[in-house]
Amino acid sequence: MFRTRSRLLVVGAASLTLAGACTTPPPPGAPPPDLTEFHNQQVKFEPCGPFATTPVNEKLFANERLDCARVQVPVDYDNPGGARGEVALLRIPASGEKIGSLLVNPGGPGGSGMNFVATMASKPLWTEGALGQRFDIIGFDPRGVGASWPQLDCFSDADDEARAAGIDNPMDLDSATSEKHAREIMQRCAESAGGEDALTSVSTRETARDMDVLRAAVGDERLTYLGFSYGTELGGVYAETFPENVRALVLDGAVAPGTTRDELHTAQAAASQKGFDRLAEECAQAADCPLGTDPARATERFQALTRPLIDRPAPTTDGRGLGYNDAVLAVLAGMRAEALVPRLVDGLTELAAGRGDTLLALRDQLAGRQPDGTYDGTGDSYLATRCMDLPRRTPAEQTEANRRIREAAPFTDDGRPVQQTHHLCAAWPKPPSRTRPWLADDVAGLPPTLTVSTTGDVATPYQAGVDLAEALGGSLLTVDGAQHGVSLIGENACTNDLVLGYLVDLKTPPEGARCAL
């Protein structure tokens, strides 16, 4: 239902004449493009129901407290008079004396800010508390995501269902089975977006420029921003591009600016293994721990539980079954938040008894599977963005990257030889939009920023936050615990107070500040 609606919107947009959309910096001394028309557009907020693109959002967006709008942006910033895209916004209006807007990105690439903010609207802090009183809180769907345009439909729901089972390592999202497969995926992406030029406009640098249009269009002189995970990279790119337009940046669960993609993926795998080892130590305190009572043998025990799933998935109530990669994805999902760990342990206990329902539900949560069996499109947006952000790999490089991931996280090793794979981006019609680290060593004119990094984060390692804070010349808040993203989304008063003090009063935490979950 929802995929069809999105595809109809794309067909209408496909008739536009698109100019080349891979933005390059203007020549030295050249005047910047005139974006006055976009900055001065009138934003008309309305009920959010028509903006829903998934069954989950259809329910969330029925909240009468929320309102939504669309903001026009150039598809190609080098040609602002050409084709136009649209960025969809969802807002929780300020309930008190307003400072301005807080723009939020939950991560990805491919995360829906509209969905995230609509979900957080159930939390008093985001409505009646200091955050909700002082800011219009705005979640946006970046180009290529959700209700915004260009839209993407690179993988069918059947593709998404089978994709995790077909890749060599469930921690790898970039593999194709062949050159032909990579070309077919690119062609489907381009067709859904409205052409190759629209497809290649989906990049982090373009989204950062969209954010500056959003800032101006909603009436803010300077940007106040909260970004999680990939959202820290997006915030860093904005800071480098528009330092004079920054009021405050909170960057939580950081991506390190100087780290290559291969280094990042290997570091994430190593952090996941540390998280698994920590899980095993905590679980071993109970005599009935499904990973056993000897943490040193937990990886071996997990492999004994999961490797049989390669040939014989565990039965589930819905008939889909739990495969090997599904189980690994479930563990990765369950380790992202301490609140999910008991559910993860229950799922492993259930698997030991021969059933896979609980782990499959955790897997679906990470994969973006909706209650009706459709997928939310996160994988499509991730692919398109990263294909324009990052260098392409040869088959040998892609295969070696998978080998290193498995070596860094042995609990994900299925016992079979590493397969030769191809890079999904290999057939992309334009080269990546950047060839260097995404943040310069020194960003002149940038006001104080706040990076939040959690010591036990299994998705974005702690050191990455240290590196990002240093690159921005900003403050670092260390949070002791095991969670991916903590700022204003839980009940940790220490973290919330320090982050709110910065957002509201621009007061950064003292050097060496720490909180604990």
Q: Are 175 and 422 within 8 A, CB to CB?
A: yes
Catalytic residue among 6, 112, 192, 229: 229
Helix (H) or strand (E) holding 405: helix 395-408
- 106 vs 114: CA distance, rounded Å: 9
Q: Which amino acid is at 437?
A: P
Strand order in the sheet with 84-92: 67-74, 84-92, 135-141, 100-105, 223-228, 246-252, 450-454, 475-480, 514-516
| Residue of 197, 457, 475, 487 with catalytic role | 457
Nearest to 230 by CA among 204, 198, 266, 250: 204
The DSSP secondary structure of 324-373, one letter per residue, reads HHHHHHHHHHHTT-GGGHHHHHHHHHHHHTT--HHHHHHHHHHHTB-TTS
Q: CB-based contacts of 399: which residues, under 8 Å, 6+ apart? A: 418, 419, 420, 421
- Decide: residue 41, CB within 10 A, 0-12 exposed, 13-18 middle, 19+ buried: middle
- Which of 265, 422, 423, 484 is an active site residue? 484
Is 288 an annotated catalytic residue? Answer: no
414 included as an active-site residue:
no
Coil vs helix vs strand at 223: strand
For residue 14, with 0-12 CB atoms within 10 Å meaning exposed, 13-18 middle and 19 or more buried, which class applies? middle
Directed axis angle between helix 341-352 and helix 261-283, to 10°? 70
Length of the chain: 517
433 catalytic, yes or no?
Answer: no
SS3 128: coil
Residues designated catalytic: 229, 457, 484
